[in-house]
Amino acid sequence: MKMVQTGMPAELKAFRMAAGGAGGGGGGRTYSFKVVLLGEGCVGKTSLVLRYCENKFNDKHITTLQASFLTKKLNIGGKRVNLAIWDTAGQERFHALGPIYYRDSNGAILVYDITDEDSFQKVKNWVKELRKMLGNEISLCIVGNKTDLEKERNVSVQEAEGYAESVGAKHYHTSAKLNKGIEELFLDLCKRMMETAQADERAKGNGASQSGASRRGVQIVDDEPQAAPATGGGCCSG
């Protein structure tokens, strides 16, 4: 999990090829989305991803260097969704690497620690940067993590939720430690990204020159059954 990344990892290349390929058989379609986690060091970004992808939790803080990458496959209402999740380093010295990871992202999860007011201010800085660089095309999630430490809360729920609404983001409450709110967060984000991709597709169908989806590299693979029915030999199971 704690791998140092400098370029596109082989796993991501494989992920993109699979997503852009024949669609793996079966009805429906496959959506491929890129999601990036941003936020101050020690707020629990890695813990959220580890809990979501591997249902693990580590009490120790192992600082992420640069970024690490995991994938997750979901099925939402019969539609396959492949997530490429980038967990970035929160340490300030890595801030300048941010654009490498948020560029082309369909969704961003901006994490703060509910016991740490500074980490909430850092989320506001990320929101400003993302809106400036990517506009409204990216689905933003603001996440107050460590809700198991409610007694030590230093960021008011009202303030955080009000702020999220004011910038067109959605707010979520999570505890990576207790596995609270994480499935809901990712599921909701996926649904929002699917809606955006579908709207982009409709706009494209209506003659828009270049849809947001294609600009961001969303790959929507239609895999309606072709003339010849698949008789085994498919590469993926449903």
Ligand X SMILES: Nc1nc2c(ncn2[C@@H]2O[C@H](COP(=O)(O)OP(=O)(O)OP(=O)(O)O)[C@@H](O)[C@H]2O)c(=O)[nH]1
Contact residues toward ligand X (CB under 6 A) are: 41-47, 58-64, 89-91, 145-146, 148-149, 175-177
Calculate the CA 71 to chain-centre distance. 10
| Rounded Cα–Cα distance for residues 96 and 82 (Å) | 27
**Contact letters (x/-) for Mg ion, 62-91, by CB under 5 A?**
--x---------------------------
Q: Which residue, 23 or 44, has its beta carbon nearer to ligand X?
A: 44
Minimum distance between the CB of residue 176 and ligand X, rounded to whole angstroms? 4
Q: Which region among 30-38, 40-48, 71-79, 151-159 touches Mg ion (by CB under 5 A)?
A: 40-48
Minimum distance between the CB of residue 194 and ligand X, rounded to whole angstroms? 27
Q: Which of 46, 175, 196, 211 binds Mg ion (CB under 5 A)?
A: 46
Residue 181's binding partner, choosing from Mg ion, ligand X, none, with beta-carbon cut-off 5 to 8 A by kind?
A: none
Q: Which residue, 157 or 203, has its beta carbon nearer to ligand X?
A: 157
Minimum distance between the CB of residue 89 and ligand X, rounded to whole angstroms? 5
Q: How far is the CA of 54 from the CAs of 57, 120, 182, in angstroms? A: 9, 27, 12
Q: How many CB atoms lie within 10 A of CB 5?
A: 19
Q: Which residue, 70 or 176, has its beta carbon nearer to ligand X?
A: 176
Q: Which residue, 42 or 236, has its beta carbon nearer to ligand X?
A: 42
Minimum distance between the CB of residue 44 and ligand X, rounded to whole angstroms? 3
Does position 47 interact with Mg ion (CB under 5 A)? The reply is: no
Residue 176's binding partner, choosing from Mg ion, ligand X, none, with beta-carbon cut-off 5 to 8 A by kind?
A: ligand X
Minimum distance between the CB of residue 68 and ligand X, rounded to whole angstroms? 9
Q: Which residue, 23 or 107, has its beta carbon nearer to ligand X?
A: 107
| Rounded Cα–Cα distance for residues 101 and 9 (Å) | 13
Q: Which residue, 13 or 61, has its beta carbon nearer to ligand X?
A: 61
Please give the residue ranges that form the binding site for Mg ion (CB under 5 A).
Answer: 45-46, 64
